[in-house]
Chain A
Amino acid sequence: MNNTLIPFFVIIPLASAFLISFIGKFAKRIIIDALSCVSYLLLFVFSLYAVSLTHGAGGMPLVYTVGGWAPPFGISMVLDGLASFMLVTVNLIALCVIIFSLRYMERYTGKPKFHTLFALMVAGMNGVIVTGDLFNLYVFLEIASLSSYALVAFGTEAEELEASFKYAIMGSVAASFIFIGIAFLYGFTSTLNMADMAHVLSNKPATWVIPFVSVLFFMGFGLKAALVPFHAWLPDAHPSAPASISAMLSGVLIKTLGVYALARIFFNVFGITPQQSSVLMFLGALSMLVAVVLALSQWDLKRLLAYHSISQIGYVVLGIGLATPLGILGGLFHLFNHSVFKSLLFLNSGAIDYVVHTRDLKEMSGLKEKMPVTAQTNLVASLSIAGIPPFNGFWSKLIIIFACIQSGHGGYAIAAVVGSLLTLASFMKVQKFAFLGELKEKNKNIREAPLSMTVAMVVLAVICIGGGFLLLPSFRFFISEAVQVLLNGNEYSSLVLGAVGR
C-alpha cells in the first residue's frame, strides 16, 4: 500500500493550517513556528520518498482512489515522475522559505495568519500536483490563488492592496476561463477524470472543440503563469508581497499553477499537436525577450526580479513547447533551477530590505563588506540566472538552446542566447549598484541578517552550485522520469487506468 502516502501531501499542510488557526490565539509563538517547520520538513521528506517510490515503480504511476471510488466515478490522485519532481521542487522551496520567514515576518503583525495562509498555499499547490481530476485541479488552483491574493496584501499598505486587487481580478478572470474550458470538456466527454478524458478524446473525433478549449486554457493558465501578453499583474504583485512570499510566488506558484497544469493538460490529456506546441514556443520566446528588455530599465530591485521571472518562465515554456525529449528535459530542469535561484534572489532582496530598509538600487551600495553572506549567495544566484558555467542555470539554458537547434528552430535558439546576455547585463547592474562600490554613510552601522535567514540562503546557494550534478547518470532519473511522463502523451490514460487495480 505504497500509494497511501499520496493524500498526505494535502492532508499535512491542511491540518497544519487548521491547527495553527485553532491554537494561534493563545499558543506561544515558538510552538506555532515549530509546528509549521515540522510540517514542511515532513512534506519534504515525503516528497523525496515519493521520488524513490516512482523510481521503484519503473515508470508506472501510483494511483490513490479517494473514498475508494475507482476512477472515473470518484476522484483519483496520481503520483508519477512529473508529480514527484514537482513535489520535491515545491516542498524544498517551501521549507527554505519558511525558515527564512521565521525572523523576517517578525516585522509584520498577525504572524499566525501568515503561517495559516502559507500552509494553505502549499496545500493548494500540492493538491494541483497530485490530483488526477480536472475539476479538482480547478478547486486546488483556487485555494492556492486565493491565499496568494491575501498574502500579497499582507502588509496592508496602499500599494500592496492595489497590487493585490489587480492580481485578484486578473486571477479570477483566468480561473473563469479555465472553468468554461472544463465545462466544454465535460459536455464533450462527459467525464472529469483526466485519464478517462484522454481515453475518450483519443477515440472521439473533434475539429473545433479542442482548439477552442486550448485557447481558453492558454488564456487561463497563461495568465496564471504570466506569459507575455497576460503578464501585466505580475510586476506589481510580486514586488509588493513580503519577500518570502515573493520567493514562493515567483519560485513555485506561477510554475505549478501555470506551467505544470498547462503541460499536464496539453501533453497528457490532449496529446499535444504541432499547432499547440508552436503556440507554446512562440509565447515562451516572446515572454523571454520582452520581459528581459523591460527588466533592464528597473531600479526597484524586487521589480527587476519580477520581470526576470516572466523572462525565465519563457525559457521553461519554450523548452517544454519544443516537445522533443531534449527540449522537455531542458524545460523541466530549468523549471527546477529557476525555482531555486529566483527564490534565493528574492530572499536576498528580503534580507537587504530587512537590514537597510530599502528596495531602491540607488539607495544601496557597498553592502558586500557588511553583508558578506547575502552578497556571496546573491553572486551565485546572479551567475546562475545569467547562465554562467558551472552553475545550474547554465546547463539548463544550454540544453534548451541545443534542443532548439536540434529541432530546427534556430531563431528561437538565437533569441534564447540574446535573452541570456541581456539577463547577464541586468544582473551586473544589480551587483554593481547593490554590493560593490562605496558604502553609504547611513549604512555604516548595519549588520548581516540573522542566522535563520542566512541559513536558508546558503542552502539554496549550495543547490545552485551543485544543481548541475542532477544531470549525472546516477541522479538523472529525477528529471528524466518526469520527461518520460510528458513524452508518453496520451498513453497516460492507459497507464493510470491500468494502475488503479494494483
Chain B
Amino acid sequence: MTLYLLCLLLFCIGLYGVLRKRNLVKMIVGLGIIEYSMNLFFVLLGYRVHGRAPLDARNQDILNMVDPLPQALVLTSIVIGLGVMALIIAIAIRIYEKYGTFDITKIKRLKG
C-alpha cells in the first residue's frame, strides 16, 4: 500500500514538472519521471512475495513465480516511452535551433 502510494507520488512529481515548469528540457525530464512511475506501478502490481523470476529452471526449488504478464507489458511500455521520448527530444532540439532557447515563455508564438 505505502509502496503504491509512493509510486503515485512520484507520478504526481513528474506531472508537476510537465505542467508547471516553463522549460522544454524540464518538461521532458518530467515526462521521463512519469514514465518511470507508471512502469514501476504496473510491475508492483505483479509482484508476489517469495516468488522468483519468471524463468523456468531444470530443477526448481521455489515453485511460485511472480506474474510475468505485467513484466511483458512494461517491456512494451518502456520501448514505447523511449520512442516518444526520442521524438520529443528531436522536436525540442529543432525548436532550440529556431529560437535559440529552451525557455517556453520566450518561445510562445501560438496563443493556445
Contacts and interface: CB of A to CB of B under 8 A. Distances in A.
B88 interface: yes
Contacts of A187: 45
A158 B99 contact: yes
Contact of A162 (B31, B87, B95): B95
B50 interface: no
B109 A158 contact: yes
A235 B112 contact: yes
B94 interface: yes
A163 interface: yes
A482 interface: no
Given A161-B98, A186-B45, A169 B76 contact: no
Given A172-B84, A176-B34, A176-B35, A162 B42 contact: no
Interface in B81-112: 83-84, 87-88, 91-92, 94-95, 98-99, 107-112
Contacts of B34: 172-173, 176
B80 interface: yes
Interface in B59-96: 69-70, 73, 76-77, 80, 83-84, 87-88, 91-92, 94-95
A186 B74 CA distance: 13
Contacts of B92: 165
A200 interface: no
Given A161-B94, A236-B110, A179 B77 contact: yes
Interface in A352-393: none
Interface in A227-265: 232, 235-236, 240
A168 B41 contact: no
Interface in A144-177: 146, 149-150, 153, 156, 158-159, 161-166, 168-169, 172-173, 175-176
A296 interface: no
B38 A149 contact: no
A455 interface: no
A136 B80 CA distance: 12
Contacts of B88: 149, 165, 168-169, 172
Contact of A183 (B24, B38, B107, B109): B38
A162 B109 contact: yes
Chain B interface mostly helix, strand, loop or mixed?
helix
Interface residues of B, number: 35
Interface centre among A142, A159, A172, A173 (most CB of B within 10 A): A172
Nearest to B84: A172
A123 to B, nearest CB: 15
B94 A168 contact: no
B76 A165 contact: no
Contacts of A236: 110-112
Contact of B27 (A135, A163, A169, A176): A169
A442 B111 CA distance: 29
A179 B38 contact: yes
A166 to B, nearest CB: 8
B80 A142 contact: yes
A180 interface: yes
A161 B91 contact: yes
Given A158-B99, A173-B15, A168 B109 contact: no
A159 B18 contact: no
Contacts of B108: 162
Contact of B41 (A139, A159, A183): A183
Nearest to A231: B112
A168 B84 contact: yes
A208 to B, nearest CB: 14
Interface centre among A158, A173, A179 (most CB of B within 10 A): A179
The 6 closest A-B pairs by CB, nearest first: A187-B45, A158-B98, A183-B42, A236-B110, A176-B34, A165-B91
Given A159-B109, A166-B110, 4 more contacts: A153-B91, A159-B110, A162-B107, A236-B111
